[in-house]
Amino acid sequence: MKSTKLILLHPTIQKQSSSSNTNRLWLIFIITFFTTAFTLTLITTTIRSNTTPTATSTATGDAASSIPLPLSISAALLHCATTTNSTHMTSTELAAITAAVARCAAAASHCNLLVFGLTHEALLYKVLNFNGRTIFLDENENLVSRFEQQHPGIEAYNVQYETRVSEMKRLFESARGELCGKCRPVQNLLFSECKLASNSLPNHMHELSWDVILIDGPSGYHEAAPGRMPAIFTAAVLARSKKGGAAETHIFVHDFDREMETVYSDEFLCRDNLGEAVGKLGHFVVERASDERSMTEFCRVSAPANSSSPSTSMA
């Protein structure tokens, strides 16, 4: 008789197998979930890192392009572009002034520029001294008013002069006789009794320490014109009487080839202070008074004999 084999399936073994399969499925699910989450995070981070610089640079470019050009610069460019023969100075003369203003702006955070004469180059000077203070003085009241209306950023003042070119010899000799008195090198011009002093300047101008002074006015081409005698004398006193800022003041005299400008510059700005002469432009470097002698004498070295006194006739 053949033996019969009987296979019994125990219920406990079936439960264990089912439970093991369930645990394996949960493990696979958890691993898949975290792998997917990590992958998505990595992709998102990479996209952000690649797009952020572009977005930032684009935003910066948009902001930079939206910054308007300063009014003073745009006005100067427009003026130069629309005006024929807009300057009566040569390029080398303007280069000398530009260099002095640039050095001043680089050495100090604030450069003070004083200009006698409201000429075609006024807007250029304003732009050159963009971060500093530039003041213009002119004897033509209508010109000052009209220029300020056309260019609101310009600071200009009308100055009345009592001198005449025809009086240059008499005024020169009078000032020479008062060098230790009314026409001394160091003084407050507001209360000066010297006939060459420009005491009609705005009060606040005497409180500023001028770094660069340009004398291109008042007019001096005929005997009835005010002449630049008071401007040269005033610049000399301002430079020697300054209290703050750099010890040196750069003073430019235009039309330096004319007799009056040459003689008065030699007397009050001093020939030994003449750094260079470019075309018709004389460039003087004058230091503030530092001792008793410099407070009573403009020049340590006497002016040349051929320019010691102006002639009675115009050059």
CATH 3.40.50 fits 87-307, yes or no: yes
Identify the three-state secondary structure at position 251.
Answer: strand
* pLDDT for the residue 78: 59
Amino acid at position 253, single letter: V
Q: Is the pTM of this model over 0.95?
A: no
Inform me whether the pLDDT recorded for 236 exceeds 50: yes
Helix, strand, coil share of the chain (percent; to 5): 50, 10, 40
Peptide bond into 218 cis (omega under 30): yes
User: Is the distance from CB of 213 to CB of 250 less than 8 angstroms?
Assistant: yes
Q: What is the 3-state secondary structure (H, E, C) of 211-240?
A: CEEEECCCCCCCCCCCCCHHHHHHHHHHHH
How many percent of the chain have pLDDT more than 90? 50
Q: Residue 267 in contact with residue 176, Cβ under 8 Å?
A: yes
Structure-model confidence comparison of residues 207 and 215, the more confident one:
215
- The residues, any chain, with a CB within 8 Å of residue 1's CB and separated by 6 or more, are none
Q: What is the mean pLDDT of residues 269-273?
A: 96
| Domain parsing of the chain, residue ranges | 87-307
Mean pLDDT over 154-166 rounds to 94
18-49 residue pLDDT tens: 555 555 555 555 555 555 555 545 445 444 44
pLDDT-based confidence at 274, cuts 50/70/90? very high
Q: Are 185 and 236 in contact (CB under 8 A)?
A: yes
Lowest model confidence (mean pLDDT) among 94-108, 197-211, 294-308: 294-308
**Rounded CA gap, 208 and 134, in Å?**
11
Sign of the dihedral defined by the CA atoms of residues 115, 104, 204, 191, in that order: negative
